[in-house]
């Protein structure tokens, strides 16, 4: 099994049995989402930015305005961390202390570089497909001015960890006698019904990607 190296940076210390370091587990969590949070440091000040992403192999692609602080700073190769979190359920125990959540989270560490040329086009398509598979092919492609206005970072994943909790609550033994309801309250994230642009020309049907997504899990 292909695993990330483990040291103090990525080691899961709290409840280590929930920790995973194999690439398959980390990449599955990344591939199940399209929104993450990037963490970086400028002059000792931590910053955090929510951003969409896509993955290819050991590379995470992030895009933004070429002029954004995130792109301008991170393209210099400063260390960054990136986190993707899926919350699956509230875990309701008998004791407040043992309340928890079922979740899948992945934290990755690495440095980014600015992407140019053919890789930039491919990276933008990877991010687009990660958000809504196939939408790129339905849309008007970027023109040179738009490509110039867009900055794309490739974050090489040096290290990562995943943390996963599943299943029912775990209470202290005596608490199982208490008359308190305990269990799991699932959280579902789904696409609703598409809302056409008020400026949509008459007679244009809902596209396939949107039709397929509607009503389904995000």
Nearer to a copy of itself among residue 1 and residue 13 (C-beta): 13
Is the separation of the CB atoms in 112 and 80 below 8 Å? Answer: yes
Nearer to a copy of itself among residue 59 and residue 151 (C-beta): 151
CA distance 136 to 72: 26
Nearer to a copy of itself among residue 1 and residue 96 (C-beta): 96
Name the minimum Å distance from CB 2 to a copy of itself.
23
SS3 63: strand
Name the minimum Å distance from CB 129 to a copy of itself.
11
Is the separation of the CB atoms in 14 and 148 below 8 Å? Answer: no
CA distance 36 to 48: 10
CA distance 206 to 128: 18
Name the minimum Å distance from CB 136 to a copy of itself.
6
Is the separation of the CB atoms in 82 and 140 below 8 Å? Answer: no
Residue 114 structure tokens: 């600015």
Parallel, antiparallel, or unpaired: how do β-strands 45-56 and 35-42 relate? antiparallel
SS3 91: strand
Residue the block writes with tokens 């692609």: 61
Name the minimum Å distance from CB 61 to a copy of itself.
14
Sign (positive or negative) of CA dihedral 155, 160, 166, 171: negative
Nearer to a copy of itself among residue 24 and residue 87 (C-beta): 87
Name the minimum Å distance from CB 202 to a copy of itself.
11
CA distance 65 to 14: 37
Nearer to a copy of itself among residue 27 and residue 40 (C-beta): 40
Residue the block writes with tokens 């040291």: 7
Nearer to a copy of itself among residue 56 and residue 194 (C-beta): 194
Name the minimum Å distance from CB 59 to a copy of itself.
19
């Amino acid at each position: 099994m292909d695993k990330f190296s483990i040291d103090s940076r990525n080691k899961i210390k709290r409840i280590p049995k929930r920790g995973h370091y194999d690439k398959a587990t980390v990449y599955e969590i990344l591939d199940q989402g399209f929104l993450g949070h990037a963490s970086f440091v400028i002059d000792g000040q931590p910053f955090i930015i929510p951003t969409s992403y896509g993955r290819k192999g050991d590379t995470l692609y992030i895009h933004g305005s070429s002029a954004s602080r995130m792109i301008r700073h991170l393209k210099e190769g400063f260390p960054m961390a990136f986190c993707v979190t899926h919350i699956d359920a509230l875990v309701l125990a008998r004791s407040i202390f043992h309340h928890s959540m079922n979740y899948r989270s992945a934290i990755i560490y690495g440095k980014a570089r600015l992407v140019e040329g053919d890789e930039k086009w491919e990276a933008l398509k990877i991010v687009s497909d990660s958000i809504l598979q196939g939408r790129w092919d339905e849309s008007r492609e970027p023109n040179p001015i738009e490509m110039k206005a867009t900055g794309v970072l490739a974050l090489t994943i040096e290290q990562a960890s995943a943390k996963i909790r599943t299943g029912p609550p775990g209470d202290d033994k005596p608490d199982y006698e208490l008359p308190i309801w305990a269990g799991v309250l699932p959280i579902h994230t789904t696409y609703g019904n598409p809302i056409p642009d008020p400026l949509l020309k008459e007679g244009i049907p809902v596209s396939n990607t949107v039709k397929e997504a509607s009503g389904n899990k995000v």
